[in-house]
Amino acid sequence: EVKLVESGGGLVQPGRSLKLSCAASGFSFNDYWMGWVRQAPGKGLEWIGEINQDSSTINYTPSLKDKFTISRDNAQNTLYLQMSKLGSEDTAIYYCARITTVATIDYWGQGVMVTVSS
């Protein structure tokens, strides 16, 4: 069974950094592109970015490129999202996503909440 489990969320002060993890299981992690999506409270979905199988290609939504870094560890079957200079606008549920060869998101994690507040 494919599972994506995010962790590392919580309450963080404005201006600080936070690193999210997504533990993948049930499939060959290094065969897939992976991505991150977020959803602010009561709002729609926002694409953050994606990373290819060997980390040679990483794309970001331009407005988030300077503060977010996506990486992966194929040996640990784990996807990461490093977030820096966090502001209240970054308060959201963050989802990890598996991307198929036809560019679909066929599996999503359950999401992890990040709250930026003093």
Long-range pairs for 56-62: beta carbons < 8 A, 24 or more residues apart: none
Rounded CA-CA distance 7/22 in Å is 6
42 near other proteins, judged by CB under 8 A: no
- Report the relative pairing of strands 18-25 and 3-7 from DSSP bridges: antiparallel
Q: Shortest approach of other proteins to residue 11 CB, angstroms?
A: 21
Contact letters for other proteins, residues 75-114 (x by CB under 8 A): --------------------x------xxxxx-xxxx---
Residue 68's closest CA among 80, 76, 53? 80
Q: What 3-state class would DSSP assign to 88? A: helix
Q: Shortest approach of other proteins to residue 13 CB, angstroms?
A: 27
Site for other proteins in 5-24 (CB under 8 A): none
Residues that bind other proteins (CB under 8 A): 35, 37, 44-47, 49-50, 59-62, 95, 102-106, 108-111
